Amino acid sequence: MKKLTTALLAVCIILLSACDVLNQKTGDIKVEAQTDPKANMAGYKSYAWLGSARVLNDPGNKWQPLSMDIAGDIKYLIDRELNKQGIYSNNQNPDLAVAFFIGIDMDAQKIVDNPDTKVDVLENIPRGALVVTLIDVETGYVVWIGTADADITEGAAEELVRERLDYTLSKMFKLK
């Protein structure tokens, strides 16, 4: 019995440490989503891309890894999440139009508490935001919108950026 208890405790510690690692990678990401209460989301079966837009205040090219196509990765993840919900791409006669907007400000400032002096100070903390919309093609109304904002890590590895995007869009569409 003692061995079983010790083994269960070890498994719990490993699982909790894995959660802590995930939280360190994604803990700053705030995700929200809203559905139009009048929309019948189960009735939508197809979509087409309306477009994407980027506003990027990154004069020193500090944010996006050079080998990475952020817009392409976001589009892929949105396609994946819509497909999981039984909504598939159809450019001929879609039920929904999909668009997203990403904004990055590497010069964003935030008031933070300096632990040494216990005084609030202004610090550069780059920020990013993502907005995804699903628009009913027939009415032209937005039937679902998802938003996310997060701190941006300067010079982040491509793998970390992809993990954070995956987490963000997976969570966003779970709230649908």
Q: What is the pLDDT along the chain (176 residues), one digit of tens a residue?
A: 444 333 333 333 333 333 334 455 788 999 999 999 999 999 999 999 997 766 555 656 655 556 778 889 999 999 999 999 999 999 999 999 999 998 887 676 666 677 777 777 666 667 889 999 999 999 999 999 999 999 887 777 889 989 999 999 999 999 76
C-beta contacts of 63-69 below 8 A and 24+ residues apart: 63/104, 63/106, 63/126, 63/128, 63/152, 63/154, 63/156, 64/104, 64/161, 65/156, 65/157, 65/158, 65/161, 67/158, 68/158, 68/161, 68/162
pLDDT attached to residue 62: 58
pLDDT attached to residue 45: 97
The structure's pTM equals 0.75
Phi (first) and psi of residue 153, to 5 degrees: -90, 120
**What domains can be seen in the chain, in order of their start residue?**
28-174 (3.30.160.670)
